[in-house]
Amino acid sequence: MSPIKHREHLITMLFATWLILGVFVDGFHHNHGDVDSFWTPWHALLYSGFLASALWIFYLVFRTKKQTEQSWKKSIPSGYGLGVLGIFVFLAGGIADMMWHLFLGIEHDVAALLSPSHLTLLVGILLIVTSPFRALWREAGEMQPFTALLSITLTFCMLSFFLWYAWAFINDLSSANALNHYLSVYRSNQLKSVLDGLEKRGVEQTLLTTALLMYPILLSLKRWKIPFGAMTFVFAVETTLMSMLEGFTYVENILLAIIAGVIGDIMIKYARSAAVVAIIVPLVLWSLYFAVVMAKGMAWAPEIWGGSIVLSSIVSFGLYQMSKPSQ
């Protein structure tokens, strides 16, 4: 397998960004009931991004084969082997998705995320978008290239997308408004049982969201010195795209994530300890988040929201332990 130039990785990521923006735009319209067939502008944006990505990767393979006269397998650029596989996985998922929509109808909400055809598309996208990250991981260099940062960021954006129902920032399950909403929707007078359910779901969402935000940075720190602003970039991109799915209903959470990201970047630069970053950033993020919820009206007991903050830090530190460089 042959290496390719950084600017060619950047082109790969430009097409991958096109593809993933198509996923989020399509997801927004699925959430709002605007999708009534397979043939929509949103699907056109998504699948055109895939086509551009596929043609570019195949071009890289064809060019190398023409220059070196090696076999097709040996002509695949370093790190792009799974990306080529991802093209065929996505293509299979796209055909299955079209057949699903034609014969079984249009999915909405969580059903759209768990549809087998959509999960096949997810696997294909992940294999494609991680290609530059795999390639650059193997190359020499102490500072993380932007293309590697963008690759891992968009990878976790896709994972967050398919875990949308467990993304803490679009539910506010700790708020009094959420409690009143669920009591009215289910016409329940069982305050304790409804609140207990919201607390359990909310804590789970807090921990999973922590992992989806922190791990891209902790994994990057295992291999590189990351550029100043990298954590802010990851937090801002993930929270903005996820907020878009709900029409920016909780737009203030983007600002909270950016503040936590900036603090994390300052700590990475001056504290120079990934362990400290892993512990402190979740404490800052969720303290800010629950402070905003308190201003609106908090439904949870202090033990629940306070414990969520501390547990998020513990989970993040655990992720650091799994991702830290071997001694």
DSSP 198-209: HHHHHHHHHHHH
Is the Cα torsion angle 40, 41, 46, 49 positive or negative in sign? Answer: positive
CA–CA dist 218, 297 (Å, integer): 33
Neighbours of 105 (CB within 10 A): 11
- When pLDDT is averaged across residues 44-58 and rounded to a whole number, the result is 95
How far, in Å, are 20, 22, 33, 94, 151 from residue 9 at the CA level? 16, 20, 36, 25, 10
**Do residues 299 and 198 make contact, with C-beta atoms less than 8 angstroms apart?**
yes
Q: How far apart are CA 164 and CA 110, in angstroms?
A: 8
The Cα 79–Cα 76 span in angstroms is 8
Collect all residues with Cβ–Cβ distance below 8 Å to 61 and sequence separation of at least 6. 72, 75, 76, 77, 80, 84
pLDDT tens for each residue of 86-120? 999 999 998 998 887 777 777 766 777 888 888 99
Six-digit token string for 16: 């991958």
CB atoms within 10 A of CB 119: 13
Asked if the model's pLDDT at residue 194 lies above 90, the reply is no
Cα 310 from Cα 286, distance rounded (Å): 9
Reported for 250-255, long-range contacts at CB under 8 A and 24+ positions apart, including other chains, are: 250/169, 250/170, 250/172, 252/292, 253/169, 253/289, 253/292
Q: H-type helices in 164-273, by residue range?
A: 176-185, 191-223, 230-245, 252-270
Mean pLDDT lowest among 33-47, 76-90, 165-179, 258-272 = 33-47
Closest-CA residue to 49 (of 85, 8, 21, 29): 21
Question: What contacts 81, CB < 8 A, 6 or more positions away?
Answer: 1
pLDDT at 35: 62
Q: Is the pLDDT of residue 5 over 90?
A: no
Q: List 152's β-bridge partners, or say none.
A: none
What share of the chain has pLDDT > 70, as a percent? 92
d(CA 257, CA 277): 14
Whether the pLDDT of residue 66 is over 60: the answer is yes
pTM: 0.92
d(CA 60, CA 72) in angstroms, rounded, equals 11
- Which residue, among 26, 256, 40, has the nearest Cα to 164 in the 3D structure? 26
Identify the weakest region by mean pLDDT among 102-116, 145-159, 249-263, 291-305: 102-116
**CB contact at 8 A, 60 and 2:** no
User: Where in the chain are the domains?
Assistant: 1-162, 169-327
Higher pLDDT, 225 or 99: 225
Per-residue model confidence as pLDDT tens digits over 235-276: 999 999 999 988 888 889 999 999 999 999 999 999 888 999
